[in-house]
Structure 1
Amino acid sequence: MQIKKSFLYTLSLILHINLILISVTNALNQDGLILQKAKLSFYDPAGSLANWSDRDATPCNWTGITCDNKESVVSVILYNSSLSGSFPISLCLLPSLSTIDLSENSINSSLPLSISTCRNLTFLDVSQNLFVGPVPSTLSDLIFLRYLSLEGNNFAGEIPTTFGNFRQLEVLELSNNVLTGTIPAALGNITSLKKLELAYNTFSQGDLPPEFGNLTNLEELWLTNCNLLGTIPQSLGRLSRLTNLDVGQNKLTGLIPSVIFHLKLIEQIELYDNGFTGKLPAGWLKLTKLRRFDASRNKLTGVISNELCELPLESLNLYNNRLEGSIPDSIAKSPNLQELHLYGNQLVGKLPSELGKYSYLRTFDVSNNSLSGEIPGFLCHNGALEELVLINNQFSGIIPLDIVKCRTLMRIRMRGNRLHGEVPPEFWGLPHVYLLDLHGNAFSENISSLIYGAQNLSNLDISDNKFSGSIPSEIGSLKKLGKFYANNNELRGEIPSTIVNLGQLGLLNLCNNKLSGEIPKGIKSLTMLNELNLANNDLSGKIPGEIGELPVLNYLDLSNNHFSGLIPISLQNLKLNKLNVSNNQLSGYIPDFLFLDIYRDSFLGNPDLCLNDSHSCNSRSGGNNGVLSWIYWLILVALGVVCLVGLVWLMRKYKKITKTKKGIATSTWTSFHNLDFSELEINDSLEEANVIGRGGSGNVYKVVLSNGEIMAVKKLLETPYENKNSEFEVEVETLGKIRHKNIVRLWCCCSKENYKLLVYEYMINGSLGDVLHGNNTRTFLDWPMRFRIALGAAEGLSYLHHDAVPSIVHRDVKSNNILLDENFEAKISDFGVAKVVKSVANGGGVETMSMIAGSCGYIAPEYAYTLRVSEKSDIYSFGIVIFELVTGKPPIDPEFGDKDLAAWVRTTLDKNGIDHVLDPRLESKFKEYIIKVLDIGLLCTSAIPINRPSMRRVVKMLREMRASMDSTIPI
Structure 2
Amino acid sequence: MRNLLLYCVFFLVFFPLLAISGVLNDDVLGLIVLKADLQDPTSKLLSWNEDDDDPCGWIGVKCNPRTNRVTELNLDGFSLSGKIGRGLLQLQSLRKLSLSRNNFSGSLNPNLSQLESLWSADLSENNLSGSIPDVFFRQCRSLRSISLANNDFSGEIPPSVGSCSTLAVLNFSSNQLSGRLPSGLWSLYGLRSLDLSGNSLSGDIPMGISRLYNLRAISLHGNRLSGRLPDDIGGCLLLKSLDLRGNLLTGSLPETLQNLSMCSYLSMGSNSFSGDVPVWIGEMRSLETLDLSSNWFSGQIPDSIGQLQLVKRLDFSHNGLTGSLPESIGTCKSLLEVDFSQNSLTGNLPTWIFESGLQVISISGNKMSGFIQIPIATDETLKALDLSSNGFSGGIPVDIRNMHGLQFLNLSWNSLSGSIPASIGELKSMQVLDLSGNRLNGSIPPEIGGAVSLNELRLQKNSLTGGIPSQIANCSSLTSLILSQNNLTGSIPPTLANLTNLQTIDLSRNRLTGTLPKQFSNLPHLISFNISHNLFSGDLPAGNFFDTIPNSSVSDNPGLCGSIVNRSCPAVLPKPIVLNPNSSSPDHSSDSAFSPGSLRHKKIILSISTLIAIGAAAVIALGVITITVLNIRVRSSAASQSAAPLALSDDYYSHSPGTEANSGKLVMFSGNDPDFSAGAHAILNKDCELGRGGFGTVYKTILRDGRPMAIKKLTVSSLVKSQEDFEREVKKLGKVRHPNLVTLEGYYWTPSLQLLIYEFVSGGNLYRHLHESSGSNLLSWQERFDIILGIARSLAHLHRFNIIHYNLKSSNILIDGSGEAKVGDYGLAKLLPMLDRYVLSSKIQSALGYMAPEFACRTVKINEKCDVYGFGVLVLEIMTGRRPVEYMEDDVVVLCDVVKGALEEGRVEECVDGKLGGKFPVEEAVPVVKLGLICTSQVPSNRPDMAEVVNILQLIRCPQDSSEEELS
Q: Assess, with a 3 A threshold, how the Cα gap between structure 1 residues 320 and 751 changes in structure 2: closer, same or farther.
A: closer
Aligned to 2:116: 119
The structure 2 residue matched to 1:492, chosen from 486, 489, 495, is: 489
The structure 2 residue matched to 1:47, chosen from 27, 32, 43, is: 43
Aligned to 2:542: 546
Aligned to 1:960: none
The structure 2 residue matched to 1:68, chosen from 60, 64, 74, is: 64
Structure 1 residue runs of 5 or longer lacking an equivalent are: 1-25, 573-587, 594-607, 623-722, 731-749, 757-800, 810-830, 838-843, 879-939, 956-971
* Residue 223 (str. 1) matches residue 205 (str. 2): no
2:355 maps to a residue whose letter is K
Q: Assess, with a 3 A threshold, how the Cα gap between structure 1 residues 877 and 104 changes in structure 2: closer, same or farther.
A: farther
On the 8 A contact 1:590/1:610 being kept in 2, the answer is no
The structure 1 residue matched to 2:458, chosen from 457, 461, 465, is: 461
Q: Assess, with a 3 A threshold, how the Cα gap between structure 1 residues 834 and 506 changes in structure 2: closer, same or farther.
A: farther
Aligned to 1:36: 32
Q: Assess, with a 3 A threshold, how the Cα gap between structure 1 residues 420 and 53 changes in structure 2: closer, same or farther.
A: farther
Residues 294-350 of structure 1 deviation map (CA, whole Å, 9 limit, x = unaligned): 111111111001102331221111111111111011111211111100011111112
C-alpha displacement of 1:413: 1.1
Aligned to 2:301: 304
**1: CA distance, partners of 2:104 / 2:434:** 46
Residues 78-102 of structure 1 deviation map (CA, whole Å, 9 limit, x = unaligned): 2122222211331121110011011
C-alpha displacement of 1:467: 2.8
* Residue 81 (str. 1) matches residue 78 (str. 2): yes
Residues 23-66 of structure 1 deviation map (CA, whole Å, 9 limit, x = unaligned): xxx98733123212212222222232232234543222222211
1:222-241 matches, cutoff 5 A: 222-241=219-238
Q: Assess, with a 3 A threshold, how the Cα gap between structure 1 residues 303 and 225 changes in structure 2: closer, same or farther.
A: same
* Residue 418 (str. 1) matches residue 415 (str. 2): yes
C-alpha displacement of 1:123: 0.1
On the 8 A contact 2:149/2:175 being kept in 1, the answer is yes
**2: CA distance, partners of 1:78 / 1:551:** 53
1:469-484 matches, cutoff 5 A: 469-484=466-481
The structure 1 residue matched to 2:131, chosen from 131, 134, 142, is: 134
1:55-204 matches, cutoff 5 A: 55-69=51-65, 70-140=67-137, 141-203=139-201
On the 8 A contact 1:298/1:320 being kept in 2, the answer is yes
On the 8 A contact 1:860/1:876 being kept in 2, the answer is no
C-alpha displacement of 1:612: 11
1:501-900 matches, cutoff 5 A: 501-526=498-523, 528-539=525-536, 541-544=537-540, 546=542, 550-551=546-547, 553-554=549-550, 556-563=552-559, 568=564, 616-617=601-602, 619=604, 726=767, 852-854=847-849, 858-860=853-855, 869-870=864-865
**1: CA distance, partners of 2:858 / 2:300:** 40
Aligned to 1:367: 364
On the 8 A contact 2:325/2:350 being kept in 1, the answer is yes
**2: CA distance, partners of 1:157 / 1:147:** 21
Alpha carbon RMSD of aligned pairs, Å? Answer: 4.6
* Residue 347 (str. 1) matches residue 345 (str. 2): yes
On the 8 A contact 1:213/1:239 being kept in 2, the answer is yes
Q: Assess, with a 3 A threshold, how the Cα gap between structure 1 residues 549 and 484 changes in structure 2: closer, same or farther.
A: closer
**2: CA distance, partners of 1:131 / 1:43:** 15
Q: Assess, with a 3 A threshold, how the Cα gap between structure 1 residues 120 and 853 changes in structure 2: closer, same or farther.
A: farther
The structure 2 residue matched to 1:315, chosen from 304, 307, 313, is: 313
Structure 2 residue runs of 5 or longer lacking an equivalent are: 1-21, 569-579, 586-592, 608-763, 779-787, 797-807, 815-822, 829-843, 874-936, 949-968
C-alpha displacement of 1:462: 0.5
**2: CA distance, partners of 1:202 / 1:99:** 30
Aligned to 1:329: 327
On the 8 A contact 1:808/1:834 being kept in 2, the answer is no
2:180 maps to a residue whose letter is T
C-alpha displacement of 1:291: 1.7
1:221-300 matches, cutoff 5 A: 221-300=218-297
SS of structure 2 residue aligned to 1:420 = strand
C-alpha displacement of 1:527: 5.3
Residues 444-500 of structure 1 deviation map (CA, whole Å, 9 limit, x = unaligned): 444344444545433221012233332122333545433221122232221111233
**2: CA distance, partners of 1:835 / 1:504:** 43
On the 8 A contact 1:566/1:589 being kept in 2, the answer is no
* Residue 338 (str. 1) matches residue 301 (str. 2): no
C-alpha displacement of 1:848: 5.1
**1: CA distance, partners of 2:596 / 2:861:** 54
On the 8 A contact 2:303/2:328 being kept in 1, the answer is yes
Residues 796-817 of structure 1 deviation map (CA, whole Å, 9 limit, x = unaligned): xxxxx99x987999xxxxxxxx
Q: Assess, with a 3 A threshold, how the Cα gap between structure 1 residues 380 and 119 changes in structure 2: closer, same or farther.
A: farther
**2: CA distance, partners of 1:727 / 1:221:** 52
**1: CA distance, partners of 2:795 / 2:140:** 49
Q: Assess, with a 3 A threshold, how the Cα gap between structure 1 residues 96 and 150 changes in structure 2: closer, same or farther.
A: same
2:205 maps to a residue whose letter is L
The structure 1 residue matched to 2:210, chosen from 191, 209, 213, is: 213
Aligned to 1:741: none
**1: CA distance, partners of 2:115 / 2:810:** 51
C-alpha displacement of 1:402: 5.7
Question: What is the TM-score when the length of structure 1 is the normalising length?
Answer: 0.59
2:30 maps to a residue whose letter is I
C-alpha displacement of 1:256: 1.8
Q: Assess, with a 3 A threshold, how the Cα gap between structure 1 residues 498 and 834 changes in structure 2: closer, same or farther.
A: farther
On the 8 A contact 1:369/1:392 being kept in 2, the answer is yes
2:540 maps to a residue whose letter is P
Q: Assess, with a 3 A threshold, how the Cα gap between structure 1 residues 832 and 217 changes in structure 2: closer, same or farther.
A: closer
C-alpha displacement of 1:412: 1.8
SS of structure 2 residue aligned to 1:119 = coil
SS of structure 2 residue aligned to 1:490 = coil
**1: CA distance, partners of 2:564 / 2:550:** 16
Q: Percent identity?
A: 27
On the 8 A contact 2:330/2:352 being kept in 1, the answer is yes
Residues 72-131 of structure 1 deviation map (CA, whole Å, 9 limit, x = unaligned): 100111212222221133112111001101112221221122223323210011111111
Question: What is the TM-score when the length of structure 2 is the normalising length?
Answer: 0.59
The structure 1 residue matched to 2:434, chosen from 437, 442, 449, is: 437
Number of corresponding residues: 639
**2: CA distance, partners of 1:547 / 1:571:** 18
Structure number with greater CO (CA < 8 Å, separation at least 6) is 1
**2: CA distance, partners of 1:611 / 1:864:** 74
On the 8 A contact 1:373/1:395 being kept in 2, the answer is yes
On the 8 A contact 1:354/1:376 being kept in 2, the answer is no
C-alpha displacement of 1:221: 1.2
Q: Assess, with a 3 A threshold, how the Cα gap between structure 1 residues 73 and 564 changes in structure 2: closer, same or farther.
A: closer
On the 8 A contact 2:215/2:238 being kept in 1, the answer is yes
Residues 911-939 of structure 1 deviation map (CA, whole Å, 9 limit, x = unaligned): xxxxxxxxxxxxxxxxxxxxxxxxxxxxx
Residues 759-800 of structure 1 deviation map (CA, whole Å, 9 limit, x = unaligned): xxxxxxxxxxxxxxxxxxxxxxxxxxxxxxxxxxxxxxxxxx
SS of structure 1 residue aligned to 2:155 = strand
**1: CA distance, partners of 2:362 / 2:942:** 29
